[in-house]
Chain A
Amino acid sequence: MTLVASNFLGGAKSRLLPASIPFRYFGAAAIFHLIFWVALFLGAEDLPRYGGGQGPLLAAIHSLTLGVLAMTAMGAAFQLLPVATKAPLRAVWPTRLASWLMIPGVALLVLGMGTAHHEAQALGAAAAVLGLAIFAVLVADNLRRTSGMVLVTGNAWGAVAALVAVLGLGFALIVDQEHGLFEHHGRVAATHMILAVYGFMGLLAMGFSYILVPMFALSPAPDVGLGRTSLAFCVGGVAVAASGALAGSTPLGALGGALGFVGIVLHLRLMTEVMAKRMRKQLGPSFVLVRLGWAFLPLSALLGIAAASDLVPRAATFFGAAALMGWLLTFVMGILQRIVPFLASMHAAKTGRAPPLVSALTPEAPLKVHFWCHVGALASIGLGLVLDEVLILRLGAAVGAAGAVAFLAFFVMVMARLKAQGGGAKP
């Protein structure tokens, strides 16, 4: 008998990367997640009034942004973008090369920031910048070869553009510490932060949400027109806010925040509609994290406007905590709880058998521990910031670290179950 899947299978297998590619990034993210909480514990006394500078807190911030968020973005984008765009990567080796540069590069950068060792920082930053530059080129090449999935590709183009600016500014900031390139180091750092958080990671997270959330929740696809409007406001908001930060202009910063806030509200309206129409009513703790992350997203934008306008004392600290921990970390950990076993199931299917159920690959106990620890850590950090109390901040970081250990255990258990299915990956 002849069996033909006439219009879909072409190139489908080549769009599924070796399991070791996405899982090495997710494994690294799980380890940097633990390093983040430990570094935050060590640098907690600087957190309530942090205004930049070397030490454990700077190391914590970059463990989170580069180690957890960017690493997850790379693993997810390398695997999911070619599937979404139906355009396979031209070669697999650049994804490996990017990991060899990125993972040790971020480790060295974080170590250098934590110990104020300039050479380590510069070397680590150079490696991480090269790794992320390879990522940007691969994503851009993939997007260039597709015309479908407009919401995903539109957001991804915006993310790539922001990433290019983030990389240039980030490396320049490291050089500036020793050689004094900029008259206003703080302004450049604020621009770097806005572009990294809302431009690169934010747009990528929103873009992937348009396919991942309906897929996991069994919902209809979101409205494309409204999604485009949201994207336009978000891109405009990021561009104006970043320009305002660079120029030291309060009105521009506030205007950018306001534009971004409108884009965020539209995005959340789409996500709310998707969730309301879902057929899968019970989505577990992972989606509680996703929703918690969404709740922090508009709050972070409002705090950003307050920080840009000097309306609230210490607003910049609350803004950073809400954007990085409340929104992005919470959202990304919720998504990771889903996509790690999901991709494990896909890779187990490559061995020629029917894929195992995702639920069979998901160890629930460590996820529950991680969930409660994460929520407890957020609550403690928030309370510690409001009360300006280092002990509560340290308690929050310690609870977060316990959650990170649980998440690491979850990751190792999923890898063990994948290996038992015959689809083992070396993380």
Chain B
Amino acid sequence: MSDPVDLARDMLKQVVDPEAALNIVDLGLVYDIRRRGDALEVDMTFTTEACPVGPSLLAEMREVLKDLPGIARVDINVVFDPPWSPERISPDGRALLEGGD
């Protein structure tokens, strides 16, 4: 059986920031995913504290993580310390962004 942490990270790549047209993992919004017993904790951020897309991203994350095997509870912590910065974008994400709008 796959590690739920890795599985969750892969599943979260389905959640795409509609403005950047890039998934939240490659965009560097997901800081940490860890397992505590039958619970999964996700630390994440937004590109800005005022991100209007934030609530819909969280709703989508809940949707994609709801059927994670072996996990009874998912806690998503939105943190702004450290703040997001462009350096957090993955090499794949950078390549996509440099390819066009």
Q: Bound pair: A and B?
A: yes
What is A's interface to B at a CB cutoff of 8 Å? 1-9, 12-13, 15-16, 79-80, 83-86, 148-149, 152, 211, 214-216, 218-221, 277-284, 342-343, 345-346, 349-350, 354-359
**Cross-chain contact of B50 among A152, A278, A356 (Cβ < 8 A):** A152
With contacts A221-B48, A355-B56, A357-B16 taken as known, whether A3 is within 8 angstroms of B83 at the C-beta atoms is: no
Question: What residue in chain A is nearest B60 (Cβ atoms)?
Answer: A354
Q: Is B47 touching A215 in the complex (CB atoms < 8 A)? A: yes
Complex CA gap A282/B101 in Å reads 6
**Cross-chain contact of A80 among B15, B52, B71, B86 (Cβ < 8 A):** B52
**Cross-chain contact of B51 among A3, A215, A284 (Cβ < 8 A):** A215
With contacts A215-B51, A345-B19, A358-B21 taken as known, whether A6 is within 8 angstroms of B56 at the C-beta atoms is: no
B-side contacts of A13, CB under 8 Å: 55
A-side contacts of B76, CB under 8 Å: 3-6, 8
Q: Is A1 touching B49 in the complex (CB atoms < 8 A)? A: no
B-side contacts of A356, CB under 8 Å: 18
Q: Known pairs A1-B67, A346-B56. 7 more at Cβ < 8 A?
A: A80-B50, A83-B54, A152-B50, A215-B47, A218-B20, A279-B89, A349-B18
Q: Is B101 touching A12 in the complex (CB atoms < 8 A)? A: no
Q: Is A12 touching B18 in the complex (CB atoms < 8 A)? A: no
**Cross-chain contact of A279 among B53, B56, B86 (Cβ < 8 A):** B86
B-side contacts of A16, CB under 8 Å: 52, 55
Q: Is A358 touching B68 in the complex (CB atoms < 8 A)? A: no
Which residues of chain B in 5-48 are interfacial with respect to chain A, using CB atoms and an 8 Å cutoff? Answer: 15-16, 18-21, 47-48
What is B's interface to A at a CB cutoff of 8 Å? 15-16, 18-21, 47-56, 58-62, 65-68, 71-78, 83, 85-86, 89, 94, 97-98, 100-101
Q: Is B49 touching A84 in the complex (CB atoms < 8 A)? A: yes
B-side contacts of A12, CB under 8 Å: 54-55, 58
Interchain Cβ contacts under 8 Å between A and B, 19 examples: A1-B67, A2-B74, A4-B75, A5-B76, A5-B78, A12-B54, A83-B54, A86-B49, A215-B48, A279-B94, A279-B97, A280-B101, A283-B101, A284-B101, A346-B18, A346-B56, A350-B56, A355-B53, A357-B16
Q: Is A345 touching B18 in the complex (CB atoms < 8 A)? A: yes
Complex CA gap A186/B34 in Å reads 67
Complex CA gap A355/B54 in Å reads 11
**Cross-chain contact of A346 among B52, B60, B101 (Cβ < 8 A):** B52
Complex CA gap A342/B50 in Å reads 14
Question: What residue in chain A is nearest B68 (Cβ atoms)?
Answer: A1
Q: Is B66 touching A3 in the complex (CB atoms < 8 A)? A: yes
B-side contacts of A8, CB under 8 Å: 54-55, 58, 76, 78
B65 to chain A, nearest CB (A): 7
Q: Is A281 touching B18 in the complex (CB atoms < 8 A)? A: no
A-side contacts of B52, CB under 8 Å: 16, 79-80, 83, 342-343, 346
A-side contacts of B66, CB under 8 Å: 1, 3
Complex CA gap A280/B19 in Å reads 11
A-side contacts of B61, CB under 8 Å: 5
Q: Is B54 touching A218 in the complex (CB atoms < 8 A)? A: no
Complex CA gap A349/B51 in Å reads 14
Q: Is A3 touching B62 in the complex (CB atoms < 8 A)? A: yes
Complex CA gap A220/B83 in Å reads 9
Question: What residue in chain A is nearest B75 (Cβ atoms)?
Answer: A4
The listed residue with most A CB atoms (<10 A of its CB), out of B19, B47, B50, B55, is B50
B30 to chain A, nearest CB (A): 13
Complex CA gap A346/B54 in Å reads 10
A-side contacts of B67, CB under 8 Å: 1
**Cross-chain contact of B74 among A1, A354, A357 (Cβ < 8 A):** A1
B-side contacts of A211, CB under 8 Å: 48, 50
With contacts A7-B78, A9-B58, A214-B47 taken as known, whether A355 is within 8 angstroms of B86 at the C-beta atoms is: no
Q: Is A3 touching B55 in the complex (CB atoms < 8 A)? A: no
Q: Is A280 touching B97 in the complex (CB atoms < 8 A)? A: yes
With contacts A1-B71, A5-B76 taken as known, whether A342 is within 8 angstroms of B19 at the C-beta atoms is: yes
Complex CA gap A214/B20 in Å reads 12
A-side contacts of B59, CB under 8 Å: 349
